[in-house]
Amino acid sequence: MPSLHELFIAPFTEFEFMRRALAGALALALGAGPIGVFLMLRRMSLVGDAMAHAILPGAALGFLVSGLNLFAMTAGGLIAGFVVALLTGLVARMTELKEDAALATFYLLSLALGVTIVSLKGTNIDLLHVLFGSVLALDDQTLLLIAANATLTLIVLALIYRPLVIECVDPGFMRSVSNAGGPAHLAFLALVVINLVSGFHALGTLLAVGIMMLPAAIGRFWARDITMMILIATVSGVVSGYAGLLISFHTGVPSGPAIILVAGAVYVFSLLFGQVGGLVRQALPRRHLEA
C-alpha cells in the first residue's frame, strides 16, 4: 500500500512536468471558473463551446504558418475568436437572425475551415494535437501565457463585475440606469476568448470548455449567491485539475480527459446531492417553516 505522500504529493515533487501541468491547470481554473459562472448565468453556456470551435481556424492557420508555435497559434486563435464574436454580434443586431443562430453558423463555418486548414499541411496526428492539446507538455512560454491570461481575466472581471452582475439579474434595470452593459458584454466576450485560447493549449479545443462550464454548473448546485458560486466553481476547477492529473499519473488515462472527467464526476455528485436544487434534496420532504 503506497503512502499518502506517494499517492498525492510525490508525483509532483518527483517530476517537473507534473508540477508544470498542475500550475497550468490551477491557473486555468482560476480564470475559467468565474468566466464559466457568468456564461451560465447569462444563459450562454453553449456559447463557450461554439467559440472554442471558432478559435480552431485561427490556431490552425498559426500552426500552418509556423508549426506548433505558441505565439502564432495564440494570435491566430484570438483573432479568429474575436472575428466570430464580432460578426455574430453584427448579424444578430442587423438582421432577423438571432444571436444563437448567427453564432451557430459562424462557428460551424470556422470549424470546417479549421479542419481543412490543418489537413492542408499536417496529418491527422497534428489535428489531434490542436484538438486535444497537452497539459503535460507546458513549456515556460505556454505556462506564462496561461498565467497572464488568468491574471488579466481576474483584473478585467473585477472592473466590469458590477455591470455584468446587474445585467445577469435584471437586464431591463441595467439598461435604464447605465449604458455600460454593451461595453461590459464585449469585454466579457473577449475574456471568454482568451480563456479558451489558454485552455486549448492545455486541454485542446474540444475540452477547453469543460474546465469552464462544468465547475460553473457545480457551483450552481451549492450556492445561490454569485460570489459563493464563483468561489465554489473555482475551487472545483482547481480540485479537478489536481485530481485529474493524479489519476492520469497513477492509472494511465490521458490527462486532459481525466481532468474533465473528474469535474464531471463532481458535477454528477452535485446534481444529486447539491444543496440548491439537487435531485435528492428535492425528493426529500421539506421541513416546514416554523414560527
Site residues (vs other proteins, CB under 8 A)? 11, 14-18, 20-21, 67-68, 125-126, 128-129, 132, 134, 136-139, 142, 245, 248-256, 258
| Of 44 and 138, CB closest to other proteins | 138
CA dist., res. 286 & res. 278, Å (int): 13
Minimal distance in Å, beta carbon 134 to other proteins?
6
Check: CB of residue 58 under 8 Å from CB of residue 85. no
- Which CB atom, from 175 or from 250, has the smaller least distance to other proteins? 250
CB of 15 to other proteins, least distance (A): 5
In terms of CB distance, is 14 or 170 closer to other proteins?
14
Query: Based on CB atoms, which residue is closest to other proteins, 30 or 136?
Result: 136
Distance between CA 263 and CA 272 in Å, rounded? 14
Min CB(68)–other proteins separation in Å: 5
Q: Which is nearer to other proteins, 142 or 270 (CB)?
A: 142
Which uninterrupted H or E stretch holds 212? helix 210-220
CB of 181 to other proteins, least distance (A): 41
DSSP secondary-structure letter at 287?
P
Toward other proteins, which CB reaches closer, 73 or 233?
Answer: 73
| CB nearer to other proteins: pick between 50 and 260 | 260
* Whether 194 contacts 55, CB under 8 Å: no
Residue keyed to cell 490521458: 254
Q: How far apart are CA 61 and CA 65, in angstroms?
A: 6
* Least Cβ distance, residue 64 to other proteins (angstroms): 15
> Which 3 state secondary structure label does DSSP give 116?
helix
State the helix-helix crossing angle for 181-202 and 16-41, rounded to 10 degrees.
150
DSSP string, 161-207: HHHHHHHHH-HHHHHHH-S-HHHHHHHHHHHHHHHHHHHHHHTHHHH
Pick from 270, 232, 253, 268: which is nearest to 33 by CA? 232
Quote the least distance from Cβ 182 to other proteins, whole Å: 39
Nearest approach in angstroms of CB 233 to other proteins is 24
Which cell goes with 237? 476547477
**Would you say 22 or 216 has its CB closer to other proteins?**
22
Closest C-alpha among 18, 78, 115, 116 to residue 199: 78
CA-to-CA distance for 80 and 74, rounded, in angstroms?
Answer: 10
Shortest separation between residue 217's beta carbon and other proteins, angstroms: 25
